Amino acid sequence: MPPSPARNRRADAQRSRAAILDAAVRLLNANPDAGVEAIATAAGVTRQTVYAHFPSRERLLAAVVDHVTEEAIEAMDAADLDTGPAADALLRLVEAGLRTVWRYPVLLRAIASLPVSPETDHERHAPVADRVGRVIRRGQGTGEFDAGLSAGWLVAVTVKLGHAASEEVEAGGMSYEDATKALRTSLLRVLGTP
Amino acid sequence: MPPSPARNRRADAQRSRAAILDAAVRLLNANPDAGVEAIATAAGVTRQTVYAHFPSRERLLAAVVDHVTEEAIEAMDAADLDTGPAADALLRLVEAGLRTVWRYPVLLRAIASLPVSPETDHERHAPVADRVGRVIRRGQGTGEFDAGLSAGWLVAVTVKLGHAASEEVEAGGMSYEDATKALRTSLLRVLGTP
């Protein structure tokens, strides 16, 4: 049976949405003021199609943030979180996240200055926090990490240390290598690894 | 020589500015949507006087943030930062800051969701970072803290851990006491105190 016209239209819509988001990530990372016109051209669609998917610039930017977050989550999931020593898994996880973040410095700097409610920020970090929590509970279960600090607190600390590394690099205070090294040392100390 | 009329006017303006800020902090912490009219009434001035000092709500809110920041800095400076073991001084400093933050939970929650550029955020934290840095360099100088991590990185980590504690309490995940205890333990571990 050939695919129905409705199914074709849905597949088309999904393809153009993905093309718009890819183009938006690329263009906004080169110039945070890139306009809808330029993004439409780069995606090979019309302005109208962009607006059909994202009725406002705010909605487009929110989708861009979700898109980059998904990329970071995929990189984390590719890092074998359930295998080997928990400390190594946690460092792989955090470094996978940072590599994604550091791929889009200009874009993420622009996003960081947008208004965001604590709830939205919390929701965006939830998939990261889930994965960090899984590794931390595994490490506490095997006795690799000191259980004196709660898993919830250690998740918050891990996310904050990741932000600290990212911001130090962005502000020009540290190189990628130094920030990653400082993050590794700090995380292992807080986790109470022997 | 009696004070000049110009000097009297300046003193009056300073007093009404201070009264407006005190009223704004109090009212906005009770209700983040409190209006200029209510703030003017509580400060004993007219709406026109509020607008003369703060031409927009954004300007008033920015001044409110500065006002609370100054209060936190004063509390930190009262904590004897240059005396005794550096680890104790750092914990006193961080806890003085958190006590101020926790005095205004509703207000700070409202402020946290306002747009802020990374530069403004950095500027606002600069007086805190200065003081944290002073204590950390003292502790590294005396060998109380491990010098393997740079003072700049440890300052960033200290500020982030303070935020983590503040956010965990705000989100209802931890009590003040538990968050303060977790923060103390984590800070001492990262600093590499024996």
> Are both B21 and B74 inside the same structural domain?
no
A51-74 pLDDT per residue, tens: 999 999 889 998 998 999 999 999
A107-162 pLDDT per residue, tens: 887 877 777 777 777 888 899 999 999 999 999 999 999 888 999 999 999 999 99
Angle between helix B118-141 and B151-170 (nearest 10): 120
> Are both A176 and A154 inside the same structural domain?
yes
Boundary of a domain, candidates A34, A55, A76: A55
B149 interface with A at CB cutoff 8 Å: yes
Is B174 close to A153, i.e. CB distance below 8 A?
Answer: yes
Residue A98: per-residue pLDDT: 92
> Are both B90 and B114 inside the same structural domain?
yes
Among B109, B115, B174, the residue with its CB nearest the CB of A113 is B115
Is A156 close to B149, i.e. CB distance below 8 A?
Answer: no
Cα of B21 to nearest chain A Cα, Å = 23
Residue B139: per-residue pLDDT: 95
A94 interface with B at CB cutoff 8 Å: no
ipTM for the complex shown: 0.84
B14-52 pLDDT per residue, tens: 899 999 999 999 999 999 899 999 999 999 999 999 999
> Are both B39 and B128 inside the same structural domain?
no
| Mean pLDDT over the full length of chain A | 90
Say if residue B145's pLDDT is above 90.
Answer: yes
Which range marks the domain in which residue A175 is found? 62-191
**Where would I find the H helices in chain B?**
5-30, 36-43, 47-53, 57-77, 86-103, 105-112, 118-141, 151-170, 176-191
Cα of A23 to nearest chain B Cα, Å = 25
Task: Specify the residue for token string 């965001």.
Answer: A116
Check: CB of residue B164 under 8 Å from CB of residue A153: yes
A29 confidence band (pLDDT: 50, 70, 90): very high
B54-85 pLDDT per residue, tens: 999 889 998 998 999 999 999 999 999 999 99
A161-174 pLDDT per residue, tens: 999 999 899 888 89
A92 confidence band (pLDDT: 50, 70, 90): very high
Residue B2: per-residue pLDDT: 66
> Are both B84 and B108 inside the same structural domain?
yes
> Are both B160 and B132 inside the same structural domain?
yes
> Are both A25 and A102 inside the same structural domain?
no
Is B185 close to A161, i.e. CB distance below 8 A?
Answer: no
* Beta-carbon contacts of residue A16 (< 8 Å; ≥ 6 apart): A43, A45, A49, A53
B110 confidence band (pLDDT: 50, 70, 90): confident
> Are both B128 and B94 inside the same structural domain?
yes
Task: Specify the residue for token string 């994604």.
Answer: A100
Residue A94 sits in a domain whose CATH number is 1.10.357.10
Say if residue B100's pLDDT is above 70.
Answer: yes
At position A15, the amino acid (one-letter code) is R
Q: Biggest alpha carbon distance in chain A?
A: 62
B15 interface with A at CB cutoff 8 Å: no
Specify the number of domains making up chain A.
2
Is A118 close to B113, i.e. CB distance below 8 A?
Answer: yes
Mean pLDDT of A20-25: 95
Residues of chain A contacting residue B164, judged by C-beta atoms under 8 Å apart: 153, 156-157, 160
Distance between CA atoms of residues B113 and A121, nearest Å: 9
Check: CB of residue A168 under 8 Å from CB of residue B152: yes
Q: Which string of b and e fits B24-41 if b means at least 16 CB within 10 Å?
A: bbebbbeeeebebebbbe
Is A168 close to B185, i.e. CB distance below 8 A?
Answer: no
B192 confidence band (pLDDT: 50, 70, 90): confident
Say if residue A6's pLDDT is above 90.
Answer: no
Percent of chain B with pLDDT over 70: 98
> Are both A177 and A112 inside the same structural domain?
yes
> Are both B144 and B173 inside the same structural domain?
yes
Residue B1: per-residue pLDDT: 61
> Are both B20 and B110 inside the same structural domain?
no
Residue B47 sits in a domain whose CATH number is 1.10.10
Mean pLDDT of B152-163: 95
Say if residue A194's pLDDT is above 90.
Answer: no
∠A138-A144-A147 over CA atoms, to 5°? 75
Question: Would you tell me how many other CB atoms lie within 10 Å of the CB of residue A83?
Answer: 10
* Beta-carbon contacts of residue A61 (< 8 Å; ≥ 6 apart): A28, A111, A114
> Are both B39 and B110 inside the same structural domain?
no
Boundary of a domain, candidates B12, B30, B55: B55
